[in-house]
Structure 1
Amino acid sequence: MKRLLLLLCTIGLGLTASAQDPHFSQYYNTPLITNPALAGQFAGKLRVGLVYRDQWSQIPDAYETFGLGVDGRIGSKWGLSGHVVRQTAGVVGYERLDAMAGVSYDILGENAGGHHIVGGAQIGIMSHQIDLTEATFGSQYIPGTGFDPGNSAGENLDDNSNTVLNMHLGALWFVGKPGQKIAPFAGVAVLNYLQPDASLGTAEDRLPLKIYSHFGARFQLGERFSLSPHAQVLYQGPANSNLVGVNGHFAFSNEFALAAGVAHRLEESIIPYIGFDWRSFTVGASYDLAIGDINDVNKNKRSFELTITYILPGSEIDAKPVCPRL
């Protein structure tokens, strides 16, 4: 129990280490982490994505998250994917690594008037650990003397780690074809489907189910400009997070476009976004500005997020993706 409390205080979060699943404000630019069914749903042969998130950076040793994903299509219906996400936080050296491989299948294919229904699944490992040799304990503070690192902590300071099998499931519906003026989409994912025991001690600590939905539409307003309102709803255990936003996209040419938008994570933050498309690259940057009750605790701390995506074009390059950016 002391170890759990120490970890919570150190990383400054109201969740246990195992319950802090990776999450990103630019969920539309991290498709493999958002929904397994999004694997292969893009115009091209191969997609490579990078993401970096610096969460509450003004707090010492706060959360940093790195992610790398690769996916592609096999024929007109199958998609394959693989991604890794690494999180670090806290003076006790907390680390978490998720490594997943996935597959998706488009049930309707290309012969349903632009309608697509896709199912997807991912399987892999979740591994995390803490290093309590970097921690300090109350028993090491001596009245009248102060902190004595040589004084016994009275705890087992061996590294604590655990690796478990994990699985995610997802489904996706979207309408998209070249020249379409309105392209709606909706998806749902059930993450941590196996609810493995990810405890770092003797007490059982199962990963709670993470129920995740996302939906919206892309409206093509003229030849160069499109507008995409979007939303996500997330539930995990007793916690929930709801986000609504809108992004605009203006194409200066077939090779260059600018994007900008804003989102609101209800009762938590305002999230401005800016990005650009250049040839086969998409770069996005966002900044979480805390508001409401969390701002009172967080003392105006901020979170920065950067995404970079590269798509290897197919034999026929379509400047307008068949699948709207989700």
Structure 2
Amino acid sequence: MRKLGDYLLIGLFVTACTFQLVAQDIHFSHLNRQPIYQNPANTGLFAGDIRLTGNYKDQWRSVTVPFQTFAMAGELKWKQKGINFGAILFHDNVGDGFYQTLEFLGSVAKNLKLTSDSTQTLSAGIQIGLNYRKVNMDKFYFDNQFNGLIFDASLPTNEAYQNDSRANLTSSAGLVHCYYYGKGNSLKTGISGHNLNRPNQGFYGVKVPRDIRISFFSQLDHAINKELAVIPGIGFNLQGKYRELLIGSQVRYTLINKLGTYRAVDGGLWFRSKDAVVVRLGLAMQNWSVAASYDTNISKLIPASTARGGLEISVEYIITRFKPKKVIHRICPDYI
């Protein structure tokens, strides 16, 4: 009987966590690996012409129905005008009620030079998108379905929800300051506001505005020598009563970087306050980079999770268009 009570308490705790999480925006453990979701001003802040990114996150599989997030994004630069464009599509599925979020966001950012040598720049970005949410109410159990002896799924729930889906528009804006120094060193710091129009996400007759999310990040990429670099960072999200602090660092080791060949590996440790310790590994080859991490849970959910959190994978691919120079009376092209 005591064991049954323990399971019931764990179940109630998990349910409470589920409802708390669906009231928050999606979050990733890889700082700046889904840049335009983190801050619309990140749009176009990379070396190259086109950037494609993909993310997958799986968490709480050891506790209940796994929470799964898929995201993919693309960015394109208009270098002549200093304007960058981006778009992101993500899908999130959480909990026993298969609470789903499908969101498409389009962003545009303008990059301004603060110094004549471009060592300092300021990017301002805005983002507008469509958010669609749906929940399967048939997957939930309600007290009205208890007939006094047993649970009877055929009984009506008598719940007053008007629909099981909702679509609305959402808007965001942000700023990112970049400082470039030395050879390949940089410091990027940004702040952004999301859900600025506070769209209604309620399924009942009562309006439930989506809380504004304030996001801050700062990340340093500093080379110690030709092979070794440290990449510490910090991210902070504030949304309603929810607070998230992510802090840690990667260490990158360059295996080869010459004659058009680039190979590097990295590893690091991150800490999300009152929630998880994150171990992250990465590999970069030419224009590709892949990162994988695992969250080890350290919160009050340990009795149910047995410290197991979730897997996260991110992929990035950058395309650089080669533009040959127009030089008269020369036979060989630029790449020879």
Query: TM-score interval w.r.t. the shorter chain?
Result: 0.7 to 0.9
**C-alpha contact (below 8 Å) 2:276/2:309 kept by paired residues:** no
Q: Percent identity?
A: 20
Q: Can you list the C-alpha shifts for 1:47-67, whole angstroms capped at 9, x where unaligned?
A: 111100012111232311100
Give SS of 2:20's match: coil
Q: What residue is the counterpart of 1:27 in the other structure?
A: 31
Kept in 2: contact 1:7–1:92 (CA 8 A): no
Confirm or deny that 1:282 pairs with 2:289.
Answer: yes
**1:273 alignment partner in structure 2:** 280
The corresponding residue for 2:310 is: 303
Deviation of residue 315 (structure 1)? Answer: 2.6
Counterpart amino acid of 1:215? Answer: S
TM-score relative to the length of structure 2: 0.85
Whether 1:163 aligns to 2:139 is no
Matched, 1:46 2:50: yes
Q: Which residue in 1 is equivalent to 2:177?
A: 173
Q: Structure 1 pair 148/113, CA: closer, same or farther in 2 (3 Å)?
A: closer
Unaligned runs of 5+ in 1: 1-5, 317-326
Aligned partner of 2:119 among 114, 117, 128: 114
CA distance in 2, matches of 1:159, 1:301: 35
Distance apart, 1:143 and its partner CA: 3.4
One-letter amino acid of the counterpart of residue 99, structure 1: F
**Counterparts of 2:226 and 2:100 in 1: how far apart (Å)?**
47
Superposed displacement of residue 124, structure 1: 0.8
Gapped regions of structure 2 (runs ≥ 5): 1-10, 324-336
**Alignment-mate amino acid for residue 215 of structure 2:** Y
User: Is 1:131 matched up with 2:136?
Assistant: yes
Report the Cα offset of residue 154 of structure 1.
2.7
Residue type matched to 1:208 in 2? D
Report the secondary structure of 2:300's partner residue: helix
Partner Cα distance (1:155, 1:214) in 2: 42
Deviations 1:150-204 (A, max 9, x none): 2333336775111111101110011126724x42221101111111122111111
Q: How large is the RMSD of aligned CA atoms in angstroms?
A: 2.3
- Following superposition, the deviation at residue 142 of structure 1 comes to 2.9
Aligned partner of 2:20 in structure 1 is: 15
Letter in 2 for 1:197: N
1:104 to 86, 105, 109: 109
Which structure's relative contact order is higher, taking Cα pairs within 8 Å and 6+ residues apart? Answer: 1
1:60-99 to structure 2, matched below 5 A, reads 60-75=64-79, 77-99=82-104
Look up the match of 1:214: 217
| Matched ranges for 1:150-299 at <5 A | 150-155=154-159, 159-176=163-180, 179-180=183-184, 182-254=185-257, 255-296=262-303, 298-299=305-306
| Larger gyration radius, structure 1 or structure 2 | 2
- Amino acid across the alignment from 1:189: S
How far 1:111 moved relative to its partner? 3.4
Query: Structure 2 counterpart of 1:203, which letter?
Result: V
Letter in 1 for 2:75: D
Q: Is the 8 A contact 2:18 2:95 kept in 1?
A: no
